[in-house]
């Protein structure tokens, strides 16, 4: 099982955020998030939004560090990319 995380560089709500994704399935992503204590409410379309203070902890738990561009590439290649306004939540 491999999940990926991009650097916490996305601003929102007074903090910086990372995206946690899978290149296999939403089930794999949800399982990792559950084991890591990431709440399901943080899931948005095709990824989890995680605050910067959780980044190192998630990497230590096994998330592989990649660029934001790579996150999009991985999701698209796996057929898991869901753009705003389309698709259903996992």
Domain spans in the chain, listed from the N-terminal domain onward: 3-78
What's the pTM value of the predicted model, to 2 decimals?
0.87
In this structure, the number of other CB atoms found within 10 A of the CB of residue 42 comes to 15
Chain centroid to Cα 25, Å, comes to 12
Show the 3-state SS of 67-87: CHHHHHHHHHHHCCCCCCCCC
Helix (H, G, I), strand (E, B) or coil at 23: coil
- The kind and range of the H/E element at 29 are helix 26-36
Distances (CA, A) of 69 to 8, 24, 32, 45: 13, 17, 21, 17
- Can you tell me the distance from the alpha carbon of 4 to that of 86, in angstroms, rounded to the nearest whole number? 23
pLDDT digits (tens, 9 = 90+) for 11-33: 999 999 999 999 999 999 999 99
pLDDT digits (tens, 9 = 90+) for 66-85: 999 999 999 999 888 987 76
């Amino acid at each position: 099982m491999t999940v990926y995380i991009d650097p916490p560089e996305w601003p929102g709500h007074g903090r910086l955020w990372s995206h946690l994704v899978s290149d296999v399935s939403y089930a794999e992503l949800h399982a990792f998030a559950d084991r890591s204590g990431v709440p399901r409410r943080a899931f948005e379309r095709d990824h989890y939004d995680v605050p910067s203070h959780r980044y190192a902890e998630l990497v230590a738990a096994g998330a592989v560090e990649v660029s934001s561009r790579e996150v999009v590439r991985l999701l698209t290649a796996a057929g898991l990319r869901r753009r705003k306004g389309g698709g259903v939540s996992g």
